[in-house]
Amino acid sequence: MSQSSHIKDRFLSHRLITNDLIGKIKTEHFDYKPTPTSMSAHELVVHMLTSFYHLASAAAKQRPKTLHDKDDDKNLPLLAQRYTDESVKLIESLSEERLDEFVDLSDSMGINVPARTLIDMAIDHEINHKGNLFVYVREMGHEKLPMFVKK
């Protein structure tokens, strides 16, 4: 199995759970926030989807496309599917040479790391916020939740 296939599997083992949780968020809960200083559920989901996509774009040295506008903004499952599909395409484009190349994000994030490290960081970021989202979704009244990673 190629390295990019391994990375895709690892990404999807978490993202498919994220999308499962997103599917449980009803429109009336988009503005739900556990505390006044928390991100709302809608903000958290959009942050997760766009962050991974932008970091994967940087790893692939591609300019990110605009994947949603105001009309789509209230359809989180649609956005989840679209960002997931585009993120997978970016991962699939990563050759072994590209994975070893450094990506300089000194200006925006203060890091200059190989593309493979950047993708690892993006997946860790996804897992962290999925951990937040589990608590949000349980607080919305859902008691039957999936495992944190898809086998």
* Backbone phi and psi for residue 110, each to the nearest 5 degrees, phi listed first: 70, 30
Q: Which is nearer to its own copies, 71 or 110 (CB)?
A: 110
- 146 touching its own copies, by CB under 8 A: no
| Contact between 9 and 15 (Cβ < 8 Å) | no
- 130 touching its own copies, by CB under 8 A: yes
CB of 66 to its own copies, least distance (A): 27
Residues 5 and 84: their CA atoms lie apart, in Å, by 15
> Most distant CA pair in the chain: distance in Å?
47
For residue 82, give both structure tokens: 């679209």
Q: Which is nearer to its own copies, 33 or 82 (CB)?
A: 33
- 34 touching its own copies, by CB under 8 A: yes
Residues 99 and 102: their CA atoms lie apart, in Å, by 8
- 106 touching its own copies, by CB under 8 A: no
Residues 149 and 14: their CA atoms lie apart, in Å, by 5
Of 3, 12, 16, 38, the residue at the interface with its own copies (CB under 8 A) is 38
Q: Give the footprint of its own copies on this chain (CB under 8 A).
A: 14, 34-35, 37-38, 110, 121, 124-125, 127-136, 138-139, 143, 148-149, 151
